[in-house]
Amino acid sequence: MTPFTLRPATDADIPAMAAIQTALNPNHPMTAETFAREMQEARDHPLGLHEAYWVAELGGETLAYASVIQYAGLFHPDRYHAEVQVLERGRGQGLGTALAETLRAHLTERGAREVLSGMYEDDPAARCGLLRRCGLEEVQRYFDSHLDLTAFDFGAWSAPLPAGVRVASYADLRAEQGEDAALSTYYDVYCATVPDVPAPAPRTLPDLEQFRKRTEDEHFRPGGVLFALIPDGQAAAFTELKSWEDDPTRLSIGFTGVRREWRRRGLALALKVAAMRDAHAQGVRRITTNAESGNAPM
C-alpha cells in the first residue's frame, strides 16, 4: 500500500475538495466559489455551527477529503453531518478508512450524540460498507428526478387555481409591496410549511435576518419563487426554482410547501406548472429536483 498523507484542510484545499465532490456527484456539481461561500456562512452563523475538514494526499495529489458539519436547518448542538469522499483512483489504498477513523475520533472528542451521513445507490462500492462498519443505519432515502422541458407537454397539465387565489413571484411582490413586505410573505409561508418536509431530523427554522440571506444567495431567482396568494394577501403555498452551477439552461427545484389548511386543492401543481412555463419561456431546457421517497407522487 502506497503511503499517503492525511492532514487538516485549509482554505487552499477548497478547489480540490469541490472538484472531488463534483467528480463523485456530477448531478450536483459544486464550484470552489460555492464551497467557500457555504463554509464561510457556517463560520459566521449565530448558532456557532461547527465545521472541520481533512484531506488525504497520495503522490502529491488530493484524492479524498472528509468533513464534519453542523447544518443550521437541522441543528442540535450534539448533531453532526459527516462525509468521506474518495475518488475512484484513490480507493483501495486505505484513505477512506483513515479519514473515517479521524472523523470518529473528532466526533467522540466533541461528544456527538447523533451523526448523519449519506451515499448514492449508483455508487454502492464507495461508502455503503464503510457507513455500516461505522455503525450507521438507513433512516431515509432520496431520489433525483429530471424533466426535459423541451419535450414537456404543457397542454396535458391543467392546473386551475381555486377562486380568489392568484400566482405572483417574489419579484412581483417586491415591486408591489417593497422588499421587506415581500420577504415577510416568503418567510411566513416557509416557516408554516417547511417543518412538514421530510428530513432525517427535526428542522430548525431561521430567524428573519438569517432567512434574508436566502434571497442574497447566488442561485436565488426572484422570478423563480412563486406564491399562491389568497385574498387577504397571505401566501397559501410557494415553490422555488434556483439557478444551476455553470449552466443557464438548467434549474433546480428547491422547497415546495403548502399550508396544511390549503392542501389537496391543486396549489402545488399549479405553482410548479406556472414555474415551468416561465422557465421554458426563458430558454431553460432541464429542471432537476430531489425528493424523499415518500414524496414520489409529487
Cell of 111: 461528544
For the chain, give the mean pLDDT: 89
Residues 108 and 186 in one domain: no
Same domain, 234 and 124: no
Choosing from 139, 173, 198, the residue where a domain stops is 139
Mean pLDDT of all residues in 166-175: 97
Residues 215, 288: one domain?
yes
Q: Same structural domain for residues 134 and 159? A: no
* Last-in-domain residue among 139, 160, 187: 139
Residue 39's CATH number? 3.40.630.30
Tell me the residue range of the domain where 90 lies.
Answer: 5-139
Higher per-residue confidence, 128 vs 233: 233
Same domain, 16 and 150: no
Q: Is the pLDDT of residue 15 over 70?
A: yes
* Total structural domains within the chain: 2
Asked if residue 139 has pLDDT above 70, the reply is: no
Q: Please report the pLDDT score of residue 17 as a whole number.
A: 98
Same domain, 119 and 170: no
Q: Verify that 151 and 265 share a domain, yes or no.
A: yes
278-296 average pLDDT score: 79
* % of the chain at pLDDT higher than 90: 64
Clarify whether residues 124 and 255 are in a common domain: no
Domain match, 148 and 245 both: yes
Output the pLDDT for position 223: 94
Indicate the residue among 118, 139, 160 that finishes a domain: 139
Shared domain for 289 and 150, answered yes or no, is yes
Residue keyed to cell 420577504: 183
| 109 and 238 fall within a common domain | no
Is residue 158 scored above 70 in pLDDT? Answer: yes
57 and 124 co-located in one domain: yes
Name the pTM for this structure: 0.82
If pLDDT is split at 50, 70 and 90, which confidence band does 121 have?
Answer: low
